[in-house]
Amino acid sequence: MTHPAVDLSVKPDVKGFFDEATHTITYVVKDPGSNACAVVDSVMDIDYAAGRITFSHADHVIADITTRGLELQWLIETHVHADHLSAAPYIQEKLGAKIGIGRNITVIQDTFGKIFNEGTEFQRDGSQFDRLFDDGDTYKIGTMTTSVMHTPGHTPACMTHVVGDAAFVGDTLFMPDSGSARADFPGGDAGILYDSIQKVLALPDQMRLFMCHDYGAGGREIRWETTVAEEKANNIHVGGDKTREEFIAMRKARDTQLDMPKLIIPSLQVNMRAGQLPPAEEDGKTYLKVPVNKL
């Protein structure tokens, strides 16, 4: 089990930007000791029915960074999202920064390269990204050191990023009243997800945890920040004394009831390319595919 070097005295300034269309939260994570920042899990807007992409959510994030005079150093993907498209290349073009994701992106590229019948020109080595993180890797945001923990189960490439007293858990956990993410995508595994959640819950009790999604359970207002202590006590899927076996049984039963995410087809085609659209065809235009009866 990985124990990242935790320094609770470092308190990054974290600002969340909620995307109403996909219930995703994008974070700007600022170093209190400098002007450096990172963006975690950006969102590109898509009207899938119309085949139209726009960038109003990303533009809000860019405006926040520029009006505060911050220097963007990293664009982090906690995992390959199946429910929204990344805007990392768009933000990178405007502000610079390196795009980073977990090393097992290569597993996802291999799986979905086949599903989308991508030709040999689609590299499955993660080379579309600037940095591939391994478990235990560290990187700097200004003066802060971020540690990366491999937390698979929802997908094979899921990583939790720990910086100071804050951890960005991706889809490993949801808010305590909302439980955990599904584990039935290719390469997902409920038992492995349980083990990854235990790694997150082994962080100090007062660690702030930032969710990638919130759906406003029971009609409450949207929330995206909790703590390890709150999750341990109250998480409806893993809190209290829930066992690994109970979790696996619950997760499997629940996952069979879930529909495919509305945007899974465009999301995977774009996110496995680090947020780039597929290459243009002979007419100079870009197309997204719909594989028939393959998902």
Footprint on this chain of Fe ion (rule: CB under 5 A): 81, 171
Nearer to Fe ion, 36 or 149 (CB): 149
Nearer to Fe ion, 142 or 188 (CB): 188
CB of 78 to Fe ion, least distance (A): 8
- The three-state DSSP-derived secondary structure of 204-269 is CCCCEEECCECCCHHHCCCCCEEEHHHHHHHCCCCCCCCCHHHHHHHHHHHHCCCCCCCCHHHHHH
Nearer to Fe ion, 81 or 199 (CB): 81
Burial class (CB in 10 A: 0-12, 13-18, 19+), 110: middle
Nearer to Fe ion, 147 or 151 (CB): 151
Q: Is the CB of residue 210 less than 8 Å from the CB of residue 26?
A: no
CB of 103 to Fe ion, least distance (A): 17
Please enumerate in sequence order all residues whose Cβ is within 8 A of that of 230, keeping only pairs 6 or more positions apart, or say none. 176
Which residue matches tokens 């945890």?
209
CB of 81 to Fe ion, least distance (A): 5
Nearer to Fe ion, 31 or 171 (CB): 171
CB of 280 to Fe ion, least distance (A): 28
Q: Is the CB of residue 271 less than 8 Å from the CB of residue 85?
A: yes
CB of 82 to Fe ion, least distance (A): 6
